Amino acid sequence: MSAKPFFLALLAFLIGTVARAETQLSFYGGYQTSPHSVVTGTDPANPVSTNLDFTAGWLGKPFTPPPYYGLRITRWQSETFGFGAEFTHSKVYADAATLSDNGFSRLEFTDGLNIFTVNLARRFDPVFGTYKPYAMGGIGFALPHADIQSGGAHTFGYQLSGPAARWTIGIERAINLRWSSFLEYQGSYSRNTVNLETGGTLSTNILTNSLNLGVSRSF
């Protein structure tokens, strides 16, 4: 199952159902990182230990292809409240020490953690004349692309892995009547359990932090 066609179908559906409302399409990129997380599970082919229980150090590498990015659609019911859907292609790579210490040659989610959420949104009164603060939060699911290799067995592909959530605070500035730019902080949480080609499983709960810069088009 591919993440991108799923999101595009959802995007088309939402556009069709909100044609009469104020609708905002947003695209962003930025700098994304992820703190350490505990990895558990079983890996029968692992040369170090078949029982997984270690702390992984993660690298975001947001500008390494495929880059970090996100897409969002928001329907504003009023000047202050809205709802919508969002897709984020964030990434994590296990660092060199994590790989060598725990029997992996690859341990990454690098065609995306692929987080999908349904959001609630809130706009606030402008500050400094033309800058409009906002906050968003959402819940959904993760569809990571696992790229995991140990003992010669290679797990590679998309897997529906578990629930996810995101939270966002930012500030928007109008460019003209239709276009605006924004700067925001966004965090996400996802529970990721994937089935390994070795017959085992690998589980880890991943947090991300990102500073996003983007543009929006209003309809």
Using alpha carbons, select from 136, 129, 27 the residue that is nearest to residue 76: 136
Distance of alpha carbon 17 from alpha carbon 22, whole angstroms? 12
3-state secondary structure 39-77: EEEECCCCCCCCEEEEEECEECCCCCCCCCEEEEEEEEC
Please provide the average confidence, as pLDDT, over all residues in the chain. Answer: 92
Kindly list the domain boundaries of the chain, sorted by start residue.
Answer: 3-218
Task: Tell whether the model's pLDDT for residue 219 goes beyond 50.
Answer: yes
Instruction: Give yes or no for a cis peptide into 65 (omega within 30° of 0).
Output: no
Report field, pTM of the whole predicted structure over 0.95: no
Per-residue pLDDT reduced to its tens digit, 99-151: 999 999 999 999 999 999 999 999 999 998 889 999 999 999 999 999 999 98
pLDDT in tens, 117-126: 999 999 999 9
Fold of 3-218: Porin (2.40.160)
**Residue 34: count of CB within 10 angstroms of its CB:** 22
Q: Which residues pair with 106 in a beta bridge?
A: 149
